[in-house]
Amino acid sequence: MPPILEPDPTDARRFVIAAVLSKAGQHVGRLAIPLVAVTALQASPGDTGLLAAASTVAFLLIGLPAGVWLDRVRRRPVMIAADLARAVLLLSVPAAWALGALSLPQLFVVVLLVGAGTVLFDVGAQAHLPHVVGRERLVATNARLASIDSVGQVAGPAAGGWLVQLLGAPLVVAVHAAGYLWSAWWLTRLRRPEPPPPPATGGVAAEIRAGLALVLHHPVLRATLAAGALTNLAVAASLAMVPIVLTRDLGASAAVLGAWLAAGGVGGLLGAVAARPVSRRVGEGRSLWLAGLAVAPAAVLTPLIGDPVPVAVAAAGWGVLCAKIGYDNVLLVSFRQAVTPDGALGRVGATARVVLIGAVTAGSLLAGRSASSRARAPRSGPRRPSSRWCGSRCSPRRCAAPARSTRAARP
């Protein structure tokens, strides 16, 4: 197992900046590709739906093999290459548009390949983070990353919409690409050399099985992944159902729906910010299930939205639930990074992403089936906090830390 070198604070800051810039481009450009398809190519709703699916299908297709590969190579060069490749792919969109050669097949190829680059960057970043910041600062760094990402999720689409009006959708795709280029530049400025990877112990299929076995048999990894999957399942179902109920059943405006989603974004930000101080005071594992128990009453508000729960009250409850999600995300990712052997960080991270994205897909399908069978589908939707609380409560981290503590070092 290669040693993790003493962390360099300057490198840690540069790595965080690179990760934030990579995400920022995604948040700002989230509206750009669909709007290019609709405005420049007159794409149908079915086409835009397929574009959205193409952006995430790469995780399901190559996530597990990518995790194996990233455990066999140095991850930083892969992240830089992924940033550069995504930038070039995205820049081909405004270039083709300017030349009058843009087509839907090109958009599909670009979105699919950019998704593959995102798999490599995201899995590589999570696997490389412990080497850059040190395991003792995982909670603090993940809290910082999650907080900034929450701000981007709230402000990014709004900024993207404003830029689309100002510049046009094709040029906003270029802004998206610029975020990746800037991220790659910051990664090249990391000074401390990355330790060499351990030698491969078998074929790709064998190492995928080894990664799956590690996740399934390790008590902390199994519990944290189950908790995350249950949350993603129910949140995806809720997010698919709430717009239907608000706009169709209750006659609410798009502004009300936007306020609802913004409440969730603000809640996620507050939860991520609170993760470090609260977990240090209460205990990381214990705080997870205590917080889940505390917010569980908010679970009943979304299924009862409109009658008898007013929309504003239900939106506040959604914000509370999203605060718990933001809090959990920081700690669960830190737990996973802390207990995973260095040579398996890529495989475990990729396995987690595949399971979590699969849960989102399953939640969306569950919502679709519910919507077709009931007019008031959210009432039959899953009760997210209770399932999340069970996953956290079963974790052996609830009262004691594992051999490697993830408690953040005091500044």
The angle subtended at Cα 334 by Cα 280 and Cα 199, nearest 5°, is 140
* CB atoms near residue 292 (< 10 Å): 24
Answer whether 9-195 and 208-398 agree in fold.
yes
pTM for this entry: 0.73
pLDDT for the residue 91: 95
What is the rounded distance in angstroms from the CA atom of residue 273 to the CA atom of residue 263? 15
The angle subtended at Cα 8 by Cα 331 and Cα 180, nearest 5°, is 70
How big is the chain, counted in residues? 411
Burial class (CB in 10 A: 0-12, 13-18, 19+), 400: exposed
Whether residue 110 contacts residue 92, with contact meaning beta carbons closer than 8 Å, is answered with yes
* Residue in this structure with the two tokens 């949350």, named with its chain if needed: 231
The domain defined by 208-398 folds into Growth Hormone; Chain: A; (1.20.1250)
pLDDT in 10s for each residue of the chain, 411 residues: 444 455 678 888 888 888 888 887 777 777 788 888 887 888 776 777 677 777 778 888 888 898 888 888 888 999 999 999 999 999 999 999 999 999 999 999 998 999 899 999 988 888 888 888 887 888 888 888 888 777 777 777 667 777 777 888 888 888 889 989 999 999 999 888 887 877 777 788 888 888 889 999 999 889 889 988 888 888 888 877 787 778 777 887 767 777 787 788 888 889 888 888 988 888 878 888 888 888 888 878 888 887 788 888 988 998 998 898 889 888 888 888 888 888 888 888 888 888 888 888 788 777 767 666 654 444 444 333 333 433 444 444 443 333 333 333 333
pLDDT for the residue 390: 37
217-267 per-position pLDDT tens digit = 999 889 889 988 888 888 888 877 787 778 777 887 767 777 787 788 888
Whether residue 341 contacts residue 207, with contact meaning beta carbons closer than 8 Å, is answered with no
pLDDT for the residue 45: 67
Burial class (CB in 10 A: 0-12, 13-18, 19+), 221: buried
pLDDT for the residue 266: 86
Q: Rounded to 10 degrees, what is the CA torsion of 104, 106, 109, 110?
A: -110
137-146 per-position pLDDT tens digit = 888 888 888 8
Whether residue 280 contacts residue 143, with contact meaning beta carbons closer than 8 Å, is answered with no
Domains of the chain, residue spans: 9-195, 208-398
* CB atoms near residue 256 (< 10 Å): 16
Amino acid at 5: L
Can you spell out the DSSP letters for 303-316?
TTBTTTB-HHHHHH
Whether residue 223 contacts residue 393, with contact meaning beta carbons closer than 8 Å, is answered with no
pLDDT for the residue 371: 64
- Check whether the bond before 198 is cis (ω within 30° of 0): no
Can you spell out the DSSP letters for 73-125?
S-HHHHHHHHHHHHHHHHHHHHHHHHTT---HHHHHHHHHHHHHHHHHHHHHH
Q: What is the CATH number of domain 9-195?
A: 1.20.1250.20
Whether residue 208 contacts residue 61, with contact meaning beta carbons closer than 8 Å, is answered with no
Under DSSP, the state recorded for 374 is -
Most distant CA atoms of the chain, gap in Å: 62
List b or e across 149-168, with b for residues whose CB sees 16 or more CB atoms inside 10 angstroms. Answer: bbbbbbebbebbbebbeeeb
